[in-house]
Amino acid sequence: MGFVNCNRCSKLFDSTKDNLCPECKEIEAITIKKITDFLQSIQQSYKKSCSIKSISIATGVKVQEIERLYRLNKLRGFTGLFDLECKLCGEKFKPTVFSGVCCEKCSKKVEEVIQELKESAKYDKKPIIEEEKEITSYETSETKPASGMHVNDPNKTRCGFKKHN
C-alpha cells in the first residue's frame, strides 16, 4: 500500500480500500448511520417511500452526499424506501439495485440513441491502415550503426563501460 490523497479532504494518508482518510471514514460512517436510522423509522411507520430531499432535511445530509452513498451501494437494503429524481427529466422513480440516475423511460431513450449512433454513418469504424514504410536493412556490419550492446569493435565502449582485457 502507498500514500494517497483522501477523496474528500485531500489529506495525505496510508491508502485504504475506499481512499478515505480515517477521519473522513468516521464522518461517512456517522452520515450513513443518520440516513439508515431515518430510513428505519420510515420503514417502521409503514410509509411507502420518501424523497431524497426529505431525507436531506430530516438528517441534515446534503442531497449530493445521499446520492453518492446510494451510487456506492452504501445504503443497501433501503433502496425501495426512497425516490430518486431522474437526472434527465426530473421525474421521481424507485431505484433498484441495477438502476442508475435515470428513470426507466429515459434509460431506454439513452439506449436507443446509443444504438442509433452505433448504426449511423457517423460511428462507422474504419480500419486503420498504416502507410507502407520503406524498411532499410543493413547488408554489412560496416554500414550498421554502432550503438549500445551491438558494438563489435573491441576498442569501443559498451553502455559507457570500457572493455577490460
The model's pLDDT over 9-37, given as tens digits with 9 standing for 90+, comes to 888 888 767 788 889 899 999 999 999 89
Rounded (10°) CA dihedral 104, 106, 107, 109: 130
Query: For the segment 115-150, what is each residue's pLDDT rounded down to a tens digit?
Result: 888 877 655 555 555 555 555 555 444 555 555 555
Place of cell 439513452: 110
Q: What is the pLDDT of residue 27?
A: 92
Query: For the segment 70-113, what is each residue's pLDDT rounded down to a tens digit?
Result: 878 888 777 777 778 888 888 888 776 666 778 888 888 888 88
Q: What is the pLDDT of residue 22?
A: 87
pTM of the model: 0.57
Can you list the alpha helix ranges (DSSP code H) found in 22-103?
22-44, 52-59, 63-71
CB 39 within 8 A of CB 75: yes
Q: What is the pLDDT of residue 57?
A: 92
pLDDT at 151 over 60: no
- Buried b / exposed e across 49-58, counting CB within 10 Å, b at 16+? ebebeebbeb
Query: For the segment 44-76, what is each residue's pLDDT rounded down to a tens digit?
Result: 877 777 888 888 999 999 988 988 888 788 887
CB 13 within 8 A of CB 6: yes
CB 100 within 8 A of CB 107: yes
Contacts of 115 (CB under 8 A, 6+ apart): none
Q: What is the pLDDT of residue 141?
A: 47
CB 157 within 8 A of CB 151: yes
3-state helix, strand, coil in the chain (%, to 5): 40, 10, 50
Q: Any idea how long the chain is?
A: 165
C-alpha span between 76 and 93 (Å, rounded): 17
